[in-house]
């Protein structure tokens, strides 16, 4: 009687191993892809916050120096060109004005208002 040599893996073991490796590779790819999209989204949010704070500071300084209540300009966020408008809008409280920043892609100025959490205390003429 001959002795059977069991060198290597059987077909079933190989298929199971390939399925496990496929699942691990798929989940790793999904994790990397989702982290990449989160990174791009977080960078865009940071750039918009940076634009908001800078335009608020600029408008505040110009208002104090020249009584200007409205600014507009252009910015690049993630290699896309955006137009922005900023202004101080009155609130129901006397001498307190809310800062509004509107960001529009590709020269589209629509009527959408974007309120922020920044305020200005003072008399605006």
**pLDDT class of 2 with cuts at 50, 70, 90:** low
Is the confidence at residue 124, as pLDDT, over 70?
no
**Residue of 7 and 100 predicted with greater confidence:** 100
User: Rounded CA gap, 47 and 55, in Å?
Assistant: 12
Residue with tokens 């922005």: 84
Q: What angle do CA 98, 116, 56 make, to 5 degrees?
A: 70
pLDDT given for residue 110 in this prediction: 59
**CA-CA distances (angstroms) from residue 46 to 40, 81, 98, 113?**
10, 16, 21, 20
Q: Which residues contact 120 (CB under 8 A, 6 or more apart)?
A: 60, 63, 88, 96, 97, 98, 99
Q: Which residues pair with 98 in a beta bridge?
A: 89, 119
Q: Taking the domains of the chain in order of start, what are their residue ranges?
A: 11-121
- Specify the CATH number of the domain 11-121: 3.30.1300
| Region class of 122: left (phi > 0), else alpha (psi between -120 and 50), else beta | left
* 56-115 per-position pLDDT tens digit: 888 877 777 667 777 887 777 777 787 888 887 778 888 787 888 887 776 565 555 565
| Average pLDDT in the chain | 79
* 13-72 per-position pLDDT tens digit: 999 999 999 999 999 999 999 998 888 888 888 887 888 888 888 887 777 766 777 788
Query: Nearest Cα to 83, choosing from 56, 70, 101, 65?
Result: 101
């Amino acid at each position: 009687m001959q002795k059977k040599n069991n060198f290597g893996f059987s077909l079933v073991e190989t298929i199971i191993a390939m399925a496990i490796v496929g699942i691990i590779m798929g989940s790793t790819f999904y994790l990397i892809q989702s982290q990449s999209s989160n990174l791009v989204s977080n960078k865009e949010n940071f750039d918009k916050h940076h634009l908001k704070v800078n335009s608020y500071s600029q408008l505040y300084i110009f208002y104090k120096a020249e009584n200007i209540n409205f600014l507009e300009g252009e910015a690049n966020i993630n290699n896309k060109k955006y137009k922005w408008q900023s202004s101080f809008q009155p609130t129901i409280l006397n001498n307190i004005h809310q800062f509004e920043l509107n960001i529009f892609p590709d020269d589209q100025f629509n009527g959408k208002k974007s309120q922020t959490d920044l305020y200005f205390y003072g008399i605006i003429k």
